[in-house]
Amino acid sequence: MTTLLKSESLLPTWTKDLFDTGKLFGSRLLDFNGGGLEFASRVPSVNINETDKEFKIEMAAPGLDRKDFKVEVENGVLCISSEKEEESNEEKKNYTRKEYSYSSFSRSFTLPENSLPDKINAKYENGVLNITLPKKEISVSKPAKEIKVS
């Protein structure tokens, strides 16, 4: 009896593994959301560095062009997005093959209060989007000087 119970428990595990898209397709190419099948988008990795004078954002986005990016600042939020649609068409004597590819992503960052959003600079080079966000110069107040009363 116990052997039968163990074998019955294999079916739910097998079906769970079958419909677990991470195991079936490797790195989450498909997502099951609300019963529908949707392609998952990949979000580029970001490095953010802070220096005394600026913030630097580096986004790895190979395979894109400058024109594919949209960089906006609104209400203290920096939004970086991209959309790219490609079509390939191959015609041979016996067949015609068309393939379509569409990719998009969007990342948003709340800007720090000491930043200058009007002076943001963005440059795409060698598959990396570099964004420079200058900081406001904060005047350091001098320590209070005591004046002796004579």
The domain segmentation of the chain, as residue ranges, is 7-40, 42-134
Q: For the domain made up of 42-134, give the CATH fold.
A: Immunoglobulin-like (2.60.40)
The answer to whether 136 and 116 are in contact (CB under 8 A) is yes
How confident is the model over 70-111, as pLDDT tens digits? 999 999 999 999 988 888 888 888 888 888 777 888 999 999
pLDDT at 28 (0 to 100): 40
Instruction: State the CB neighbour count (10 A cutoff) for residue 101.
Output: 9
Q: Measured between alpha carbons, how far is 124 from 129 in angstroms, rounded to an integer?
A: 4
The per-residue pLDDT for range 108-150, each reduced to its tens digit, is 999 998 999 999 999 999 999 999 999 988 767 778 888 889 8
